[in-house]
Structure 1
Amino acid sequence: MLFGHGDDFYNSQNEIKINFSSNVWHGANLDKLKEHLILEFDKLTRYPEPDAASLKRLLARRHEIKEDNIVVTNGSITAFYLLAQAWQGAKSKIAIPSFAEYEDACRLHGHEITFFSTSDDLSELSLDGQDFCWICNPNNPDGKLIHRTELLTLIAANRQTTFIVDQAYVAFTTEDMLKPSDIHNHENLIIVQSISKAYNVPGLRIGYLVASPAIIKEINKYIIPWSINAIAIEASKYILIHPAQFTLPIRKWQRETAELIYQLSKLDGVEVIPTATTFFLLRLKKGTAAELKKYLLDNHGILIRDASNFRGLDETYIRLSTQKSDENQLLVNAMREWLDQQ
């Protein structure tokens, strides 16, 4: 899916004042990172490391794994396409509704695809004959979460299937999640993570996957040299070395999310879907997501995510990512205004 993702900020002809469509931490202070990158500007005059080796070393130390357990990718999305390519023609079972690129990557590389619902009881999930099981946890777009113990039990019970677990939103919950070091005891586990979402730098396109050395060796056959640019490498290293500058106040953000959900739930004509994160789905009982999106953008400069193109959802679903309290209230007021006109 080249187009049709959440943050289509680039495509808007209107001034966007508040962006509820993108699942990234909106409050990161990037001033010192900006200063650092200006000092490192001359690195653009040289080729970067072919495989982002210095960043890989930092990630290995941070997660208590080895460098041959990691592949750094041009955004987490590249990891999905690499995995699908490395095992062309495999059988993949994908949880839905979820990130569309799992399916797109698998179709591009000839996978035989089946689906299961994120609402299914995982203890009854049949993975007989499946090479891969793709799970987003916490899940995009609905913010549902599979607890660590439940997920590890599923992985251990299905050693014939390799689990690709997308943890791009691991920082957006206080629940206990999988750790990269879990790959040591589960050779059928691949974890994909993002550096950009928790630090408000999605434009850098930085992600990585961790897995057993055997899996990494296979993926490395398809890595394009210099696929991570020098500025992305330098910015990511700075973030990892200076974590105190990028602390995400997750509990405060969760409280703001709970308040936004409470205010929206009082509106006549909407149903808010429960979430374990700071983003969530909302179902309209009248009108469509496309109509609401256009109204909010044209009249208030507010951008939301029309979630109708997620497999398993329809034209009544939108996805929202909580912003600042005053901005959240502006959204509630604007939606009330629109609903009164329906």
Structure 2
Amino acid sequence: MIIGHGGNIYKLAKDLGVTPSDITDMSSNLNPLGPPEGLMEHLASKLSTIVSLPEVDAGHIKELLAAKYGISSSSILAGNGTTEFIYAIPRALDTKRALIVGPTYADYRDACEMYGADADFLLTRKEDAFSMAPQDIAEAADGYDTVFLCNPNNPTGTLVAPEAIKTMAESRPDIRFVIDESYLPFACDAYGQSVARYGLDNVVTLNSMSKVFRIPGLRVGFLMAPEAIIAEFSKYVLPWCVNAMAQAAVGFILSGGKAIDTFLEKTRAYVKGEKDRFVAALNAMDGIIPYGAETYFVICELTGENTAAGLWAALAEEAVLIRDCTNFIGIEGEFVRFSLKDKETNDRLLGLLKKHVK
């Protein structure tokens, strides 16, 4: 599904007759603190590398990432964003029936449909704050060969502890579990709390550099799995799939030491403080109900006569882009998602919500 994600600032800018930089994008899940300090300057200094082919398998950055997770680089593949791996999953794992814990990111289902795999949803409920016990997932997985779990989940922001995922996967060795940890760095120490560290035979872990380091335009992500599963995925990974600038960016980040650790710590502290402040303001308003999340994006239910489409359109006229969540399978009711930015931008959104939500 190419159309239907957040972040389409280009279309909105065209519709309004403005430039994309005039749009305040609160639909895309990117770090509000921006790329780490020094990254842009580093990339500028590496511009000359585009005249040569990059390292064919991105081996250097795989080794750097392996050291962070405490695993072997032979258990890692680098690719053109996690999207490349998501769409390879049905082929590499020979998926016939997939169970997707939702509501969640649409590409898991789209990947299954593209390659003829059946995909069903195991849906969490708003009454349970969109959470579900891992043992319930394991029990519901009878008859399936692959389970998708986004952790923390998009769009609900719910988080499952890694120990619980480990127990779940160990209880069902006959099933492959795909754990998408794209948003984990916003909630905790992603390297120390990743399920990839357990080296489980039936778990595939996805890691995205785009969100937390705010480099989505470079398209770089990683897949971690046992070597036997890596061998299957390797059949579908293209040579030179991580471009030179993306490799330079990841090399800078993973070699950044204390500066990058501090950046991640500041990110988590800012996200928690600003999210708590923003949610408290929403709780004081009529017509909108926020749900708790472990991430910097907040999903909200609109009540009364308010609709997601109506609020999206009203804010779009104000050159503010939000995520209408009604196209997520399993979302029942009028839900929207806000991805937080700096305090001034968040306060502007709060003001617009008071204006347009009745």
Note whether the superposition's TM-score is higher than 0.5.
yes
Greater CA drift, 66-75 or 21-30: 21-30
**TM-aligned CA deviation for residue 141 of structure 1:** 0.2
Spell out, residue by residue over 1:221-260, the C-alpha distance to the aligned partner (whole angstroms, 9 max, x if none). Answer: 1111111111111111111111444413212221110110
Of all paired residues, the percent bearing the same amino acid is 30
Name the CA shift for 1:243/1:318 in 2 (closer, same or farther; >3 Å): farther
Name the CA distance, whole Å, in 2 between partners of 1:178 and 1:37: 28
Equivalent residue, structure 1, for 2:47? 41
Q: Please give the alpha-carbon distance, in whole angstroms, between the structure 1 residues aligned to 2:92 and 2:166.
A: 24
Contact 1:167-1:194 at 8 Å conserved across structures? yes
Which residue of structure 1 lines up, in the alignment, with residue 275 of structure 2? 257
For residue 135 of structure 1, the aligned residue among 125, 149, 173 is 149
Structure 2 partner of 1:201: 215
- Local SS of the residue matching 2:337: strand
Counterparts of 2:133 and 2:242, CA distance in 1: 39
Given the alignment, which residue of 306, 326, 333 partners 2:351? 333
Contact 1:96 1:115 in 2 (8 A): yes
Which position in structure 2 is the counterpart of 1:81?
87
1:20 corresponding residue in structure 2: 26
Amino acid in the other structure paired with 1:56: K
The normalised TM-score by structure 2 is: 0.89
Query: TM-score, with normalisation over the residues of structure 1?
Result: 0.93
Distance across 1 between alignment mates of 2:300 and 2:23: 21
Distance 1:151 1:30, change over 3 A: closer
Shift of 1:326: 2.0
1:216 matched residue in structure 2? 230
Give a deviation string over 1:166-211, Cα, whole Å, max 9, x none: 000011113883342212xx11111101112111111111110100
Match of 1:178 in 2: 194
Q: Deviations over 1:260-307 (max 9, x none)?
A: 0110121111111121222121111122222211211212x2211111
Deviates more, 1:29-38 or 1:279-288: 29-38
Aligned to 1:236: 250
1:277 corresponds to which residue? 295
Amino acid at match of 2:196: P
Structure 1 residue 149: Cα displacement: 2.0
Output the CA distance in 2 between the equivalents of 1:117 and 1:323: 29
Q: What is the match of residue 66 of structure 1?
A: 72
Alpha-carbon distance, 1:319 to partner: 0.7
- Contact 2:28/2:339 (<8 A) preserved: yes
Q: CA deviation at 1:71?
A: 0.7
- Structure 2 residue runs without a partner (length 5+): 125-130
Query: Does 19-28 or 134-143 show the bigger shift?
Result: 19-28
1:29: Cα distance to partner? 4.7
Q: Give the count of matched residue pairs.
A: 337
Q: CA deviation at 1:312?
A: 0.8
CA distance change for structure 1 residues 328 and 108 in 2, over 3 Å: closer, same or farther?
A: same
Q: Which residue is equivalent to 1:288?
A: 307
**Secondary structure of 1:3's partner?**
coil
Q: For the aligned residues, what is the CA RMSD?
A: 1.8
Deviations 1:134-179 (A, max 9, x none): 0000000010111122211111111110110000001111388334
Q: Any gaps of 5 or more consecutive residues in structure 1?
A: none
Q: Is the 8 A contact 2:80 2:219 kept in 1?
A: yes
Which of 135, 153, 156 is residue 123 of structure 1 equivalent to?
135
CA distance in 2, matches of 1:6, 1:17: 13
Contact preservation (8 Å) 2:63, 2:73: yes
- For residues 201 and 142 of structure 2, the distance between their equivalents in structure 1, rounded to whole angstroms, comes to 18
Moved more, 207-216 or 9-18: 9-18
